[in-house]
Structures are given as structure tokens and as C-alpha cells.
Amino acid sequence: MRLFFYLFILVVAICYTYIAFVDLTFFTNRGRMGPGFFPRILGLAMVIAMLLVILGDIKKNTLFSGTQDSQYKDAAVLIGFSLTFGVLLMVFGYVVAIPAYIGATLFYFNRGKYVTNAVVVVAVPVVIHFLFGSLLNASLPHGLWW
Amino acid sequence: MEIFDNLLMGLSIAITPMNLLYLLLGAAIGMMIGAIPGFGPSAGIAILLPVTFSMDPISAVMMLAAIYYGAMYGGTITAILLNTPGDSTTVASTFDGFPLAKQGRAGPALVMQACASFTGGTIGVILITLLAPMFAMVTRSFGPPEFFLLCLMGILTLVALMSGNWILGLVSALIGFALGTVGVDLETGHQRFTFGSTELIGGIHFIPVAIGLFGIGELFHAFYSGAHKSGTGGIVQYQNEERFWPTKKDLRESKFTMPRNAVLGFCIGLIPGAGATIASLMAYSLEKSLSNTPRKFGQGEMRGLTAPESANNAASSGAMVPLLTLGIPGSASTAVLLAAFIMWGLRPGPLLMADNPEFAWGLISSMYLGNMALLVISIFAIPLFVYIIKAPYRILAPLVLVVCVMGTFSVNASMIEVFIMLGAGVIGFLMKRFGFSPAAVVLALVLGPMAEESLRQTLIISRGSFDIFFLRPSSVYIMVFFAAVILSGILLNAYRKKANIQGAQA
């Protein structure tokens, strides 16, 4: 997992640097700092620093540690639920998405506590509606069909 | 005399019923957030920032500041009762706090930590009152070169003082700076890294990134580390205690410990990037070295608890000085506070105290009242906080996530920002897992655009020459000062490692 994360950052840093060199100029026509001045320096520094990090981990033999870690399972499930919640919120709005998300999360992580889970599933959307919608007069996501 | 007049003016603003209500609310919420393991003041302020939109700016900033120092009080409760620091700033409090609780002295330990936090916080605010106007006067002569150096040095200090791998800290800071370059370049009008998206033209907003990295990232990490499985009910070291109050001996032993470590903590808090964690660990080491019975430290010595508590609260006050007088945040929490100030149309910096005295002095005065309120809340609401930390994490986590999502959406009614926040949450979790620094990302995201703008102005003034940094005396002083700070970072890290080892042995 560590290796994948390092590679992800390295690839993003390389793409950032590429765009900074190709699309953005270092100086303006007047010889002042151009839009690419900062990004080019940052991009190069990021690529070099990430390479140093990866080399350092290869030296210390820690690059592949933790790849078989089973602890990721619960975090991955929660991340999956959360991203699905984002999509549900965009499509169906908070009235559907919040109970669905809370219900799914509690069903998975808090098994057997049916009464508690049911109370939370009902109470949270109501509290959110009154807190954000009524008390704070803030926008709430109503979805595409509202 | 002018200071007292200003302070009275500030008190007259802070003491209105609505402001007092928000102050108390902020203090109580801050304590609750601090009491939840993993949630620090930065997460608390970031999550609740959107909730303050409908408020008057001064009330909102007072409430957010109260959340900031309230979380410093609350973080210790879990350190004492669960041996789990609420935030990194309370790591040192576990060394003697938890042994005290195991000896059946959780009540006296909690009361003494409240007294130490109050002493640290109040001495810190007194020092802000005395020093902030002087700082503002000195920094009025600062120009773009000095601001650029302060931005750069602030982030470099944070990186240099990181306890783990400093290259990972540097990468984190670079990621933050890079995120700050997204959007339209103000000098040329050229779009950078927007990929044609109209939502990104204004840049990546700070709030979703901060909420994602601190709030959501912490939640994911807690599930990774299994916090949702264990619950906390079984290991809370607190019952309705008969011997709740500290003894005279406890008070006598700590009477000099609290003020001296408050001054130490405040001085460390003044240095951008240093922060309350280092202050608390240094205070612990200092108190141990001054003690005639150093062997008692780590086994339930009250001074081992009051010293770091006093220092970390004073450091959080100290960090407000560069924020108010320079507009430069020294920590992730003050970076989030800076975002709040800017959102309310207030620009912290050398002119803040002259241009917006009612805001600056209202905030400072509210901190006196806030500390008093927190002392009372933290002593008399202990059973309530014990109840909160017994709440299972697996139920708390989805609720917090829903509040984060709704809060982020309510800022600009943008689903893109919700997805940026969720993405930042995943990245924040992996960063924490692999030793990167989410705090450096957030600090650099705030400081990056400021650094770029001031560098641009500097190079225009100097006609493209970097010599200007060596020709202006104030620039040279700043560079020398920060070189000393960064070099001393090695010593501070040695202190921290030593204290950690001692804590682990204890």
C-alpha cells in the first residue's frame, strides 16, 4: 500500500511538473514572474523529494511493509460507504442519502443493535434538516430530481 | 494605559449576552471535540466553520477561537482517563495523567489539569495583551520581502520540527503549495491546473481540504486502527469519586510549575511551526530536570501533568500573536482560524489592531472570559465528558461524516467541494498512515498564495534581483532568527524523543 501511495504522489507530481513546463511560462513578456514560476520550482522539488523518499525506503526495506495488512478492511468499507454517500447525495439529495448512508454504516459496524440503529437513522436526517435548513438557513443538497 | 482602555473596550464587546452565549457554546463544543480521540482543534474549527455563517463576524470568530482553546482543555480528559491523547498536544499529559488515574486519583488529576490549563491560558492571554501591540508596531515596517520570508520560514520550521521523516514533511508542504497554485494567476490572468473546470477557476478552497484532511482523514484512520471495535467504556479510569478535589499538597507542589511553564509554552508558541506539542514535551522535560524527585515522573507525579498542560495552553495563546499581528498562522489550527478571519472580511496583519480594534481587542478580551468559563465547565462537567468519551466510535463516526459533508456543501452549495473533501479525507488517511503531515499541507495551502504574491511584489520592487533579501536589515534578522530556530529543531526533536522514551518506559 505504501508503494502504491508513493507512486501515486510521484505520478501526480510528474504530471504537475509536465503541465507547469508545457503550459505555463516561467517569465512574462515584461520579464516578471510568470504563471509557471512557482509551479515549475514546486513540481521539480516534489519529484526530487518523492524520489528521495522512495530510495530511502528501498534502502531501509520498508517500501513493501504493510501490504498484507488486514486492518485496511474496515477503513476501506467506511471509505466505500462514504464515497457512495457522496454520489447518492448528488443524485437523490439528503433526504434519501443520509438515512441510506447511516443505515448501511450502522448495519455493518454496529450489528445487532437494531433499536439504537433505527433511532439514529431516523434522528440524524431530522436534526440535520432543522440545524442546517431551518436554524442556520444553509443550503442543503436536494439532488437532481428535486 | 492605552492597553487597559483597549481591553475595556474589548470587554464591552465580548460581554454582550449573544457574544457570551456563543463564547460558552464554543468553549463547550471545543471541549467535547477535544475529548474525542483523534479530533484536535483544527478539525473542530474546520467542521464547525460553516455553522457560523449566519452569525455576526465578531461573535463567530470568538466562538471559533473558543473552540480552539476549548479543545486544548478537552484533549487531556482522554489522556488521563484512557491513556489516549485527544491530540498530539496532550501526549505528554498521558505520562503522569494516566498513572494518576490508575491510582484512583482521576478526579484530582482532572481538576488539576483544568487549573493548569486555566493558568496557562490566562497567562498566555495576558502576554498577548502586552506583546501583541508591540509586535504589531514592529511588523508595520515589514514589506513583501519580509512577508515572503515569514511564510517560507513558517512552513520550513514546521517541517524541520517534524518528529518523523522530515522529507515526508517537505513533500506534504510542497503538495499544499501546489494545491495553492490551482486557479487563475492573478498577475497574468492565466488559468493554472483548472483543466477547463469553471469550479476550479477560483482555486481549491481551503475549507473542504481542511475538513477532509483533519476531520474525515482522522475518522478513516480511527477505523483503520480499530478504535470502532473496542469502544471505550471498559477502560475509562473514572468512577463517581469520593476524593474528587486535589489535596493541599497537590496545589503547593504545582504553584510555581504552572506559571513558569506557561511562560515557556507561550514563547514556544510564538515561533511559527513550533507549536503546543513541542511546548508540552519541553515543559515536561524542564519540570523533571528541576525536580528533586525525578524518578516519581512517569509514576503519577502531579507536576508531570500540570507542567505540559500549562505549557500547551499557553502555546496556543502564543500562536495567536503571529496570526493577529502578521497574518501568518503558526499551526494548522491557526491556519483554519485565519481562513475564518478572511471569510469574515478581516485581514489579520500589522494593521489589524489599528484598523479593526473592536475585533482584535474583542477577541483578546473574550479569551479571558473563555478561559474562566472553561475552568468551570471542565471541573463541573467531568461526568458529562466521561459519558461522551464512552460513546461508541462506530456510531459517532458516520454522524461526524454527515455533519462534515453538510457543512462543506453549505459553504458554496457545491458538490465538487464535497468530493474534494472526501478525496482529501482518503488522502489524509493515507498521509497519516505513512508518516506524511496533513498539517503541513493545510498550512502550505494557506501560506502558498501569500508567499507567491509577496515574492512577486518583492521581485518587482527589486527589479528581479534576489539581493533584496540580504540588503534589508529586517529580512536578514528574520533569516538569522529562523536559521537558529531550524537548527534548534534538532535539539527539540532530541528532547521529544527522550520524553517519548521516558513516557513509554513509565
Which of A36-45, A63-72, B78-87, B280-289 is most confident?
Answer: A36-45
Distance CA B424, CA B431 (A): 10
Q: Which residues pair with A92 in a beta bridge?
A: none
B365: left (phi over 0), alpha (psi -120 to 50) or beta: alpha
Of A32, A85, A131, Cβ closest to residue B459? A32
For B10-63, what is each residue's pLDDT tens digit?
888 888 888 899 889 888 888 888 777 667 787 788 878 877 877 888 888 888
How big is the A-B interface in CB pairs under 8 Å?
157
pLDDT in the model for residue B225: 80
Distance CA B451, CA B434 (A): 28
Q: CB B402 to CB A128 under 8 A? A: yes
Mutation target among B151, B159, B171, B427 for the A interface, most CBs of A within 10 A? B171
Distance CA B221, CA A78 (A): 10
Written as one string, the DSSP assignment of B378-426 is HHHTHHHHHHHHHS-HHHHHHHHHHHHHHHHHHHH--HHHHHHHHHHHH
For B201-213, what is each residue's pLDDT tens digit?
888 888 888 888 8
Q: CB B171 to CB A32 under 8 A? A: no
Residue B32 grid coordinates: 467535547
- Model confidence at B475: pLDDT above 50: yes
Residue A65 grid coordinates: 511493509
- Chain B residues touching residue A72 (CB < 8 angstroms): 224
Which of A142-146, B145-149, B272-276, B393-397 has the least mean pLDDT?
A: B272-276
Return the percent helix, strand and coil in chain B, to nearest 5. 80, 0, 20
Distance CA B321, CA B178 (A): 27
For B92-136, what is each residue's pLDDT tens digit?
888 888 888 888 888 888 889 989 999 999 999 999 888 888 888
* Per-residue buried b or exposed e for B180-197, using 16+ beta carbons within 10 Å of the residue's own CB: bbbbbbebbebbbbbeee
pLDDT in the model for residue B234: 44
pLDDT in the model for residue B77: 82
In which band, very low, low, confident or very high, does the pLDDT at A146 lie, cut at 50, 70 and 90? low
**What mean pLDDT comes out for the span B153-162?**
74
Q: Which residues pair with B183 in a beta bridge?
A: B192
Around B106, how many Cα atoms within 13 Å sit in the side-chain half-sphere? 23
For A2-32, what is each residue's pLDDT tens digit?
888 999 999 999 999 999 999 999 888 888 8
Say which residue, B218 or A63, is predicted with more confidence. B218
Mutation target among A5, A22, A73, A78 for the B interface, most CBs of B within 10 A? A78
Q: Is B262:B477 a contact under the CB 8 Å cutoff?
A: no
pLDDT in the model for residue A48: 96
**What mean pLDDT comes out for the span B258-276?**
84
* Per-residue buried b or exposed e for B382-413, using 16+ beta carbons within 10 Å of the residue's own CB: beebbebbbebbbbbbbbbbbbbbbbbbbbbe
Q: Is B171:A46 a contact under the CB 8 Å cutoff?
A: yes
- Chain A residues touching residue B178 (CB < 8 angstroms): 13, 16, 39, 42-43, 46
pLDDT in the model for residue A132: 80
Residues sharing a CB contact under 8 Å with residue A136, sequence separation 6 or more, in sequence order: B51, B53, B54, B410
Distances (CA, A) of B199 to A99, A140, B177, B202: 29, 18, 19, 7
Chain A interface includes B424 (CB < 8 A): no
- Model confidence at B489: pLDDT above 70: no
Q: What are the strands, taking DSSP E only, across A9-145?
A: none
Which of A44-53, B95-104, B156-165 has the least mean pLDDT?
A: B156-165
The whole-chain average pLDDT of chain B stands at: 83
Q: What are the strands, taking DSSP E only, across B79-178?
A: none
For B401-459, what is each residue's pLDDT tens digit?
998 888 888 878 888 889 999 999 999 999 988 888 888 898 888 888 888 989 999 99
**What mean pLDDT comes out for the span B358-376?**
87
Q: Which residues pair with B191 in a beta bridge?
A: B184
- Model confidence at B237: pLDDT above 80: no
